[in-house]
Amino acid sequence: MSDVFISYARSTEPEAIRIASVLNEMGYDVWRDDEIPANRAFGDMIEERLVAAKAVLVLWSAEAARSEWVRSEASRARALGKLVQLTLDRAPLPMPFDQIECANLVDWTGRADAPGWRKVIRGVAELAGPPIRNRAGGGVGRARGDKPSICVLPFSNMSDDPQQEYFSDGISEDIITDLSKVSALSVTARNTSFSFKGKGVDVRSVAQNLNVSHVLEGSVRKAGGRVRITAQLIDGAAGDHVWSERYDRDLTDIFALQDEISQAIVAAMKLKLLPEEKFAIERRGTSSAEAYNLYLQARRLYVSGNQGDVRADEAMLRLCRQAIQVDPGFARAWALMALAQRSLHFASSRFSDGGLEAAEKALSLDPYLAEAHAVKAVYLSQVGRRAEALAEIDVALRLDSEAYEVNRCAGNLFFQQRELERAIVYFEKAASVLETDFVNLAMLIACYTGIDKVDEARRVARMTVDRAEQALAQDQSNGAAMAHGAAALAALGETDQAREWIRRALVIDPDNLHMRYNLGCVLLVDLEDPDAALELFGPVFAGASKAFLDHAKQDPDLASLRSDPRFIAMIAAAESRFSAGLSKSRAEVAPPRPPEPDHSP
């Protein structure tokens, strides 16, 4: 049972995280909805946790006041007599909560002696008891709720082919996910554990720095139809091996093997695995090792960041289709296919539904699949169904607020709607979840620049260059890495190097319209060269999709070109092309005209 349940709107997640962290440091066991296991219905889980908590802390904001979820949770807490509330932005509270004492945490800096924070702690203490450090016999606080804790280091790829790394990464991620379903165990997040990838680390130092009791490390060798996995569980304090094992199996046994590893770790740490947790660990979404392997290959293409590369999107699409042919009930493959179709639709107008049908199919198979809700949200936003899009992305975030795909889609959705500060929250999260990601960092440059946070824009620009260089070291044909790196260099004022990267990008992938568009924006905004920008934009608008054109027509980066006759002509020609295409399609479905009478002699 948790001491404190935190209810909040998604836009205030950073504040919720900070408040939860401070309460944890004081010794309170805090729960918020980022801890919902993948196998649980989020409504049932929230109800269960809210009822079990000793206090419910509601973080009111303008968005929270509009949220049916927050209002429902607040009403339930009020009925149970365990409501504590605070305001983050002075927005009016909905009735009847405006008649109840509410602490003011507007502009709270984290000071323990702030009047609003003292009021929060008094309310929590009345319901959940005083903080651990103030209780009789209490120490300085409890680390990770007195639960055993573990960091799963990325398993090393020991295969002869370095391209098999997608498989070892997938195994590592699945073990992290499995162990996260064990309620008696605290598991370090994927983005933290993967920050050690490829580095020679001292396990005891890792355990000390992350404050975990155990560390798991291992390796994967995949060859033909066989897989060999070695794993070692190490005591973080003593550095001793608690458990180790080597498995040599047929690849078709991969799921049973993952189950064995997770359950062996639980047993070695002397933890109790509840029946529902055992069921959750064994639930994979597919029973086919072949479909699973194809899905991992497709996902690797998605996270590579080669945005706008039609060849990569088509390869991802082919892999997903193969996975679905092997197992038509594999919902995650359907959801990833929807992401590929959405990208192809934006680049070339293929898949007129923008991936909606595939997303709906994924949801029919698994209604609790967060990434399927996320891609559906982006589609709904693009066709102007804003309220439905916001509802879908809220569901996705509640189901899995840690998922890379979900945070990337959320950031893009709010960026499309020009809500830059909200977009920043999710782009930052996506970039932290995947340590190789440069796409969302590049989006952050635009967001921070748009709200005049120059220092933050420079910070993420430097990170973008570093990650783009890493991506190019792996794949020199990654045009998106070159384009986003060029934009970052320009934002840092390194104009000569930015121009060199632009030149190289156009040599690498001249037909990538998305990349050409981004490079044109760099030339226009950062390098102040409209002639060069228009030269790049010519082929873009000659072959752009309708969705791409609509985006360009409202893109603030192109504001200086709105009155340029050359730009006006490009847009007009593109619109004529779409108009002609529409007329042609109508003619194709129109009934044939009767033949003209023959008046020939």
Q: Which of 146-155, 450-459, 573-582 has the lowest mean pLDDT?
A: 573-582
For the cut 50, the answer to whether the pLDDT of residue 591 exceeds it is: no
Q: DSSP string of 277-321?
A: HHHHHH--S-S-HHHHHHHHHHHHHHHTT-TT-HHHHHHHHHHHH
Residue-level pLDDT at 216? 92
Question: What are φ and ψ of residue 271, in 5° steps?
Answer: -105, 155
Q: What is the 3-state secondary structure (H, E, C) of 390-422?
A: HHHHHHHHHHCCCCHHHHHHHHHHHHHCCCHHH
For the cut 50, the answer to whether the pLDDT of residue 599 exceeds it is: no
What does the pLDDT look like over 218-240, one tens digit per residue?
999 988 788 899 999 999 888 88
With bands split at pLDDT 50, 70 and 90, how would you rate the model's confidence at 502?
very high
With bands split at pLDDT 50, 70 and 90, how would you rate the model's confidence at 1?
low
Angle at 77 between CA 75 and CA 81, to 5 degrees: 115
Q: What percent of the chain has pLDDT over 90?
A: 16
Question: Tokens 């226009």 label which residue?
Answer: 524
Residues with Cβ within 8 Å of 587's Cβ and at least 6 positions away in sequence, in order, are: none
Residues linked to residue 7 through DSSP beta bridges, in sequence order:
58
Residue-level pLDDT at 320? 94
For the cut 90, the answer to whether the pLDDT of residue 68 exceeds it is: no
pTM, to two decimals: 0.63
For the cut 60, the answer to whether the pLDDT of residue 383 exceeds it is: yes
How far CA 5 is from CA of 82, 101, 252, 429, in Å, comes to 10, 18, 42, 22
For the cut 60, the answer to whether the pLDDT of residue 139 exceeds it is: no
Domains and CATH numbers, the chain: 4-142 (3.40.50.10140), 147-284 (3.40.50.10610)
Residue 7 to residue 247: CA distance in whole angstroms: 44
Over residues 558-584, mean pLDDT:
79
Residue-level pLDDT at 324? 94
Q: DSSP string of 114-136?
A: -HHHHHHHHHHHHHH-S-GGGST
Over residues 325-350, mean pLDDT:
85
What does the pLDDT look like over 307-321, one tens digit per residue?
667 777 889 899 999
> Positive or negative, the Cα torsion across 514, 561, 420, 357?
negative
With bands split at pLDDT 50, 70 and 90, how would you rate the model's confidence at 144?
very low
Residues linked to residue 157 through DSSP beta bridges, in sequence order:
220
Burial of 601 (0-12, 13-18, 19+ CB in 10 A): exposed
Residue-level pLDDT at 284? 66
With bands split at pLDDT 50, 70 and 90, how would you rate the model's confidence at 598?
very low
Angle at 537 between CA 534 and CA 543, to 5 degrees: 150
Residue 487 to residue 482: CA distance in whole angstroms: 9
Residue-level pLDDT at 330? 92
Over residues 280-290, mean pLDDT:
75
Q: DSSP string of 551-581?
A: HHHH-GGGGGGTT-HHHHHHHHHHHHHHHHH
How far CA 160 is from CA of 222, 250, 253, 258, 581, in Å, comes to 8, 17, 21, 22, 50
With bands split at pLDDT 50, 70 and 90, how would you rate the model's confidence at 119?
confident
Nearest alpha carbon to residue 333 among 379, 302, 310: 302
Residue 248 to residue 257: CA distance in whole angstroms: 9
Residue-level pLDDT at 349? 58
Q: Other CB atoms closer than 10 Å to residue 594's CB: what's the count? A: 6
Residues linked to residue 32 through DSSP beta bridges, in sequence order:
none
Residue-level pLDDT at 282? 64
The two tokens of residue 45 are: 């889980």
Residue-level pLDDT at 305? 67
Q: Are strands 186-187 and 156-157 parallel, antiparallel or unpaired?
A: unpaired
Average pLDDT, the chain: 81
Helix H or strand E segment including 483: helix 479-491
For the cut 60, the answer to whether the pLDDT of residue 588 exceeds it is: no
For the cut 80, the answer to whether the pLDDT of residue 127 exceeds it is: yes
Residue-level pLDDT at 489? 93
Decide: 389 and 373 in contact? Cβ < 8 Å: no
Q: Which of 283-297, 439-453, 529-543 has the lowest mean pLDDT?
A: 283-297
Residue 405 to residue 338: CA distance in whole angstroms: 12
For the cut 50, the answer to whether the pLDDT of residue 138 exceeds it is: no
